[in-house]
Structure 1
Amino acid sequence: MTFFSSLQPALPVALIVGLAACAAVVAVASAVRGRPLRPSWLQAPALVLRLGTIALLTFILLNPSVNVSTPTKTSRSAVLLDASASMTLAGTESGTRWEESQKWTRDLGAALKSAGLPEPEIHKFAGDSTIISSAELQAGNSLPDGQQTKLAAALEKLASGGGSTNIDHVIVVSDGCTQDATRISAALGGLHDAGIRASTKLVGRDVPARNATLLSVLPPRMVRAQSRVIVPVELEAGGVTPKENFELILRDADGTEVARQPVHFSSPAPDSGFSSASRKLSFVSPAQTTRYTLELSGPGKEATLEDNRFSFTLEVVTTKLRVLLAEGTHAKRSLGSEGHFVNDIEMITAACTGTGEIECVTFTPVSQYVDKPNLFAVKFANGEMLVDSSRPFPTTREELHSYDVIMVSDVPVGNFSPEQMQWVVDWVVERGGGFLMAGGNTAFDTGNYDRTPWEKITPVDMLDYGDGHYGKALEVTIPLSVRTHPIWQMTPDAKENAAILDTHPKFGGMNRVRRAKPGATVLAVVQDEPEQPVIAAQNYGRGRSIAYLPDPNGGWGEFVIRWSADNAPTLGDRIELGQGASLTTHPSEARAPATPRPPHPSPHYAAFWVNTMKWLAENSIRWRRDKLSGKILTAQARPGTLLPVAAEFLAESDPAKMAVQEIGARLDVPGSPRIRLIYDRDRREFAGSLPVPADLTAKEVQVLFDTTAGRESLTDVVPCGVLIQNSEYTRSAPDTALMTELAQAGGGEVLTTPESAIAACRAASEARAARDSRAWPQPIWSHWPWWTAVLVLLGLEWVLRRAGRYSPQTPVSTSA
């Protein structure tokens, strides 16, 4: 700094210099023209002293100053060492990311020490950050076990003084896989305010951790006792090969094994590197509500076992299914050799009621060939049909809606009014009922059902009247693609079941159709005509429907009613009971012999119809919930995401009233908000999404539904499994982009070697010193030597003048 640049005069320099010059001129003039000092040599020193005083005062008026600064503290760098569980994954070249991070940090400390810089302060972080010593790092006692990576939280803690107060530089050693990336910007703002730069060191390579996961488990909410339950399971794995043997094991609350299936994962997907597998666990439901635990077991060690178990509760409903059967066949057959008889219709009803789970109400026309109302209820006694006057055919919507399944076989359309047919359609669409139409001489087109409301809900397109009647024998084939359908599950053993299906009898005839409707599942076809369906099924609205195109009994069903094992009771020839005026009952023959009644003569036929009734009734709301039924629209809840839910309001069917109904849902978790569900006219249900807390750790959560109907408060509670996945293993690729952006935004560098960090550490220290340094100008005239000099000069001049003698002036003489 030059002399003049340190001057800070209060007055303009020119003015000060001008005044000083004037004062000097006056001093010189006074010395020349004033009284001289004696001896004369004192004149010059006195003048010099005065001029020196003027010069010194002029210098003081120019206000010279020097810069003064505060001393700065020695600063140091800090290392943020990622200690989350993902650091157990593969390192950049070999070993784990944690081992690579430890070695790099140790080498960094040594490099800084060699360069004359202080060693770094070491922090490890996962969900939180803590300071560890170099000795701890050397000993390797700190292991990466954090279940979360909260990098932003660690940076915020460091910026707020979570370490030493003289940190000027933080080096993040991590794979960048953090769960709070959205808060990184705010954390960097805190570092900037604290004068801390941020650099990064990326570790790791993209090698999936060895870990298998139960990705999705979708058990039904409610089932009937002793019914077959199918639980779809989706699995995902990383770091495993297709040859490795895993197993899915289902156990009940007592630990008893219920089902087991082997699992082999696919080859890793090219884009994600993860393998997948899908399975369907099948078992028979117990007699009461039971809790189950599904486990995935495999060879070798996995990164975590937390996502290998899933528990769920299976609610067993004991309400009996109600089946309305309208059948036009009037015939019986001998059963065994001891005088027992069985009615052809009873072959179906006895199979259903024999389970103890199904109640059948049977109606038959006086004549199946009379196309007008002539149905009456019947009971069976040793093959005879007895009139049941206590059960008239339903004449109101409510009566029809009290059933779960309606089966119509060989009964012409004239037996039902248009209003009754529409009630059935509404019952299928809105209440999830199951409708089945079976073939015969007065069914489908020959029963005049084409272009009726019931034709709309059946899964086939009917031919014109009479064109579909086919009275010749035909063989059937059950396609391999549908053999896993619930109606074909005769026995739990897959091989035995396949052998049973291969023995399916032929039919004596059927009602041919144009085609199965789009979306329908064809469950059986004519062997010689694969395009001609024999049995077809579909979902329709909330409910289901089946077209069984042959006759389930009678003439066309002569062979199928004998679908049995070799040791089944002998079934005799058909005995007609008549139609119309010839219909007769024989009360004397209704009394069964005293000997025990033989079992069902056709076990496979019986199993088929039981399966069919249960499948048709599966969506029926009658046995599920009376007025409000909630459901979860995804396999499991995932923390930090939205859970889609829906609710059916069963207390009302008017669309206009449904649209204004207020229904809400919330999670049974403290602080969880109640979300109003919005009515979806197409789905006929209320739908919405519930926020799942990100910190939810429970394995199961309850979803609460509520509404009001009149003065009645309606509620429903649906349990929902929670998929707890360790986010540390859901992605294996290091986040290069995040670590690069962090270094750029933090004013630091992306580091590679410990040596490359030395320059970054020095630059950060210099920047901190420049930031913390405080300098200001200090006037030098405030120091006492300057004023002492002024006083000395003035004092010496005064002494000289006192010592000098004044010489008197000699008057000048003049002569005239």
Structure 2
Amino acid sequence: MLDTILRAVGVFGASDSLLFKTPISPWLIVLIGVGLVGLVAYVYRRTIVTVSPGMRYTLIGLKTLAIVLLVVCLLEPVALNSEVTPQQGFLLVLFDDSKSMSIQDGSGTSSRIDAVKRVFSEQALLETFGKRFKVRGFRFSSVTERLGDISELTAEGDATDIAGALDQAAGEFRDMPLAGIVLVSDGGDNASPGSGALTGATDYLKSQKVPVFSVGVGGNRIAKDIEILKVATSKTLTTGSITDLYVTIKSSGYEGRAVDLEIREGARLVRTENIRLGKDGDTQRIKLALSPVSPGIFEYTAEIRLQNWEMIVENNQRRFIIDNRAKTGRILYVEGYPRKEFKFIRRALEDDPRLKAVSMVRISPEGRLYRQGIQDVSELQEGYPRTRRELFTYDAIIFGDVEAAWFAPEQLKMTEEFVSVRGGGFLMLGGDQAFSEGGYAGTPIEDALPVRLLGGSGAWGSGVTDRSFRLQLTAEGLTHPLTQLGETPEENQQNWNNLPELIGYNRVGVSKPGATVLAVDPTTDALEGSNTILALQRYGRGRSMAITTASSWHWQMLMPSENRSHERFWQQMARWLALSTPGQVTVTLDKESYGEKEAVTITGGVFDETYAPVNEAVVYAHVTGPTGQTESVPLEWTFGEAGVYRAKYQPKMGGMHQVEVSVQSPESITARDQAGFGVATSIAEFTDPTLQNDVLKRLAESTGGVYVPLDQASQLPERIPAVKQMASTTRERDLRDTPPLFFAVVLILGLEWF
């Protein structure tokens, strides 16, 4: 009714709506107004002037109307008017500004970023987009920021984060009508490889119906380039601290050329290998041996010098870390009787300064034990350890020809936990009382082994064969560091071929998922895995191995005394079992080489003597830089991860850094652990630097957009559909001081005098 009165006096439009903005309670004002109306009615009923009833009611009505209008003014009325108008859609243009865009793989000496500037400038693409859309520009590398003009592109970013760029740009315009996103890039998304971030960004844009129109920049092939893709190391498994390096190389334009592969420790050249490059686009895996001179953690560089006409120099080298700390692994070796296999294995372990063999051998039916390598008379005095605190002091355990019944069930379970919880290594050797024949099927030991046991869960039978056979390496065994008896593949195979035959082994079941079989008996069909001789796996935090024969001593007794194959084999097995076992304090880094602006994630682990995680420790990482200056960084406990502490560290300079993690509280934990990392100019942008058009095509197709190469970018304006959205605009108009309302009140009050 009120809006009808206001329209009648001409202060309210037909499409307006009414809103009162007074901070005072409207009901109080209305109550006052009702009181005034009542007072007016009372006064007019008692007037001394004689008037007709009709006139009296007319005067009361006029006064009431005036009071109503005044009360409305006190309520601070405003008229709201909404208008719906069409609005243009936004088009976001994202330019890749990372270092890979500086590669000159275009015509002449033009870089990728120069080609982008030329195409977008000559064809006035941004201006053309602006005729149909509201255009907003961004540039991105490891970070994303607004772009004022295309001339600001520099191609200096250390990484390419396509997912982050899409997320940030789309997030800024979440509530706006988006016609789409134009992504101009070579597709080298390397900020978070394997994280699934790009898939997540794609799924989000698809759900919001925001298409991506990708523009591919660069060539599918670099005409002249040599790239070191990866360097893998064997972590000094072999004797004499020899580290096997596996260098993966990819080249184009230099097929058959002989080049030198140089290995440097810091600035010192330590190894040169002349290699011949393969076919264009093929990858080569080069193996070479390296002997670190000093114990410790060192940064090395693998490099091939720049060749004539080579287009990219940054990817000719790769930095890597070698951990050659002088750690000694303590191995507990348990045998059921003093057999030849025990004698020669123990002798091989004693020859390795990085291994400490502690053995216990049953020498009588009554269970008398012969102990060797013990630290004091109390060690193993009561036989096999009965507490975690005692057992977990070792780094690896070997079970020889000893039956499961000789151990208490609690000891077998504790041994399984030694591997899964402690992170130790476990090996079971062949024998008459080993594997199924020793009653281990269905015990916790079978859970830890890399093979299923016959007579156990899922097995089909049992038996020990006494056949003679020559051990044969599997495809995995030919390249695995554990089974390398030579410096080259040819020498390795020849050394294996020269070894005498073995006699007998325990038949076992199939290898478990995730296990690796390195050697078999080639004279027997691999029925249910029954010809397995050597298998291994990761189990929990640790490692386990099965060697089903007990005749490797033939490799010592039947070979010339100068032949060291037996010793090398067993020392490599034992190092794999023992030297990777973690201590009570551990440190890991998210990677070993960082760019100059990258933060290092340091993760520490803290455990008590039984290797239960400790959550209330005071933990520090001490980072020593190239100048020798040390900086202490507190690590914070990570909620939800027992015994895990983390911190971010920003290096101040390039070069090799050492990290040592220690515990200040509780004081009973005195262990420390070390790691190392290098800081240098990142080469991530020059790793596989060709145009990744598959990435860009998938991104466009998944979101409903299209992919075009840069030379066809002029097609984009007509291929991006216009998106218009109706936008609502609301305007307020104060009604208290409008002339019609003022004159209406004056007129109503003045009528009484006529």
1:541 is aligned to 2:511: no
Aligned residues: 518
Q: Measure the CA separation in 1 of the matches of 2:144 and 2:577.
A: 54
SS in 2 for 1:721: strand
Matches for 1:287-436 after TM superposition, within 5 Å: 287-289=294-296, 291=298, 293-298=300-305, 299-303=307-311, 305-311=313-319, 314-330=322-338, 345-367=342-364, 370=365, 373-377=367-371, 392=381, 393-395=383-385, 396-436=387-427
Deviations 1:127-162 (A, max 9, x none): 9xxxxxxxxxxxxxxxxxxxx999979x77xxxxxx
* Aligned twin of 2:89: none
User: What amino acid does structure 2 have at the position aligned with 1:562?
Assistant: M
1:678 is aligned to 2:638: yes
Deviations 1:447-496 (A, max 9, x none): 22222222221112112399323234344322243122233222324322
1:709 is aligned to 2:665: yes
Distance apart, 1:540 and its partner CA: 1.4
Segments of 5+ residues of structure 1 without an aligned counterpart are 1-81, 109-126, 128-147, 157-169, 186-199, 269-274, 332-342, 381-386, 569-598, 738-750, 753-816
User: What amino acid does structure 2 have at the position aligned with 1:283?
Assistant: L
User: What amino acid does structure 2 have at the position aligned with 1:478?
Assistant: L
Q: Looking at CA atoms only, which structure, 1 or 2, has the larger radius of gyration? A: 1
1:443 is aligned to 2:458: no
Backbone CA RMSD of aligned residues: 5.2
SS in 1 for 2:513: coil
Q: Measure the CA separation in 2 of the matches of 1:306 and 1:250.
A: 16
SS in 1 for 2:468: coil
User: What amino acid does structure 2 have at the position aligned with 1:548?
Assistant: I
Contact conserved, 1:249 with 1:296, CA < 8 A, in 2?
yes
Deviations 1:784-808 (A, max 9, x none): xxxxxxxxxxxxxxxxxxxxxxxxx
Distance apart, 1:440 and its partner CA: 1.4
Distance apart, 1:499 and its partner CA: 0.9
1:617 is aligned to 2:596: no
Q: Measure the CA separation in 1 of the matches of 2:235 and 2:357.
A: 25
* Aligned twin of 2:524: 529
Segments of 5+ residues of structure 2 without an aligned counterpart are 1-96, 123-138, 170-183, 185-214, 697-709, 712-754
Report % sequence identity: 21
1:248 is aligned to 2:261: yes
User: What amino acid does structure 1 have at the position aligned with 2:241?
Assistant: S
Contact conserved, 2:261 with 2:304, CA < 8 A, in 1?
yes
Contact conserved, 1:230 with 1:281, CA < 8 A, in 2?
yes
* Aligned twin of 2:219: 206
User: What amino acid does structure 1 have at the position aligned with 2:300?
Assistant: T
Q: Measure the CA separation in 2 of the matches of 1:514 and 1:207.
A: 48
Contact conserved, 1:436 with 1:546, CA < 8 A, in 2?
yes
Contact conserved, 1:462 with 1:468, CA < 8 A, in 2?
no
Contact conserved, 2:593 with 2:678, CA < 8 A, in 1?
yes
The structure-2 alpha-carbon separation of the partners of 1:307 and 1:412, relative to structure 1 and needing over 3 Å to count, comes to same
SS in 1 for 2:677: strand
1:286 is aligned to 2:293: yes
Q: Measure the CA separation in 1 of the matches of 2:268 and 2:157.
A: 38
SS in 2 for 1:516: coil
Distance apart, 1:514 and its partner CA: 2.0
SS in 1 for 2:437: helix
User: What amino acid does structure 1 have at the position aligned with 2:402?
Assistant: V
Contact conserved, 2:296 with 2:326, CA < 8 A, in 1?
no
Q: Measure the CA separation in 1 of the matches of 2:249 and 2:683.
A: 15
Q: Measure the CA separation in 1 of the matches of 2:299 and 2:243.
A: 12
Q: Measure the CA separation in 2 of the matches of 1:277 and 1:690.
A: 36
Contact conserved, 1:665 with 1:703, CA < 8 A, in 2?
yes
Q: Measure the CA separation in 2 of the matches of 1:479 and 1:687.
A: 41
Instruction: Determine which of 457, 479, 495 is the counterpart of 2:474.
Output: 479
The structure-2 alpha-carbon separation of the partners of 1:373 and 1:699, relative to structure 1 and needing over 3 Å to count, comes to same
Matches for 1:712-723 after TM superposition, within 5 Å: 716-722=673-679
The structure-2 alpha-carbon separation of the partners of 1:301 and 1:294, relative to structure 1 and needing over 3 Å to count, comes to farther
Matches for 1:106-255 after TM superposition, within 5 Å: 172=151, 206=219, 210-219=224-233, 226-234=240-248, 240=253, 242-252=255-265, 255=268
Distance apart, 1:498 and its partner CA: 0.8
Q: Measure the CA separation in 1 of the matches of 2:99 and 2:326.
A: 49
The structure-2 alpha-carbon separation of the partners of 1:259 and 1:658, relative to structure 1 and needing over 3 Å to count, comes to farther
Q: Measure the CA separation in 2 of the matches of 1:314 and 1:326.
A: 33
Distance apart, 1:516 and its partner CA: 2.0
Distance apart, 1:658 and its partner CA: 3.6
Q: Measure the CA separation in 2 of the matches of 1:177 and 1:314.
A: 31
1:698 is aligned to 2:658: no
Matches for 1:664-675 after TM superposition, within 5 Å: none
The structure-2 alpha-carbon separation of the partners of 1:497 and 1:88, relative to structure 1 and needing over 3 Å to count, comes to closer
The structure-2 alpha-carbon separation of the partners of 1:95 and 1:250, relative to structure 1 and needing over 3 Å to count, comes to closer
User: What amino acid does structure 1 have at the position aligned with 2:682?
Assistant: Q
Deviations 1:376-433 (A, max 9, x none): 32589xxxxxx99975234343332222222121112233222322332222223332
User: What amino acid does structure 1 have at the position aligned with 2:361?
Assistant: T
Q: Measure the CA separation in 1 of the matches of 2:300 and 2:261.
A: 10
User: What amino acid does structure 2 have at the position aligned with 1:546?
Assistant: M
Deviations 1:233-264 (A, max 9, x none): 45566x64555555432234583433637374
* Aligned twin of 1:607: 568
SS in 1 for 2:151: strand
1:467 is aligned to 2:462: yes
Q: Measure the CA separation in 1 of the matches of 2:466 and 2:98.
A: 77
Q: Measure the CA separation in 1 of the matches of 2:235 and 2:489.
A: 25
Deviations 1:740-787 (A, max 9, x none): xxxxxxxxxxx99xxxxxxxxxxxxxxxxxxxxxxxxxxxxxxxxxxx
Q: Measure the CA separation in 1 of the matches of 2:656 and 2:439.
A: 52
SS in 2 for 1:518: coil
SS in 2 for 1:564: coil
* Aligned twin of 1:507: 502
* Aligned twin of 1:124: none
Deviations 1:563-597 (A, max 9, x none): 524xx3xxxxxxxxxxxxxxxxxxxxxxxxxxxxx
The structure-2 alpha-carbon separation of the partners of 1:266 and 1:680, relative to structure 1 and needing over 3 Å to count, comes to farther
SS in 2 for 1:446: helix
Q: State the TM-score, normalized to the length of structure 2.
A: 0.56
The structure-2 alpha-carbon separation of the partners of 1:255 and 1:415, relative to structure 1 and needing over 3 Å to count, comes to same
Q: Measure the CA separation in 1 of the matches of 2:100 and 2:442.
A: 65
Distance apart, 1:725 and its partner CA: 3.2
User: What amino acid does structure 2 have at the position aligned with 1:488?
Assistant: T
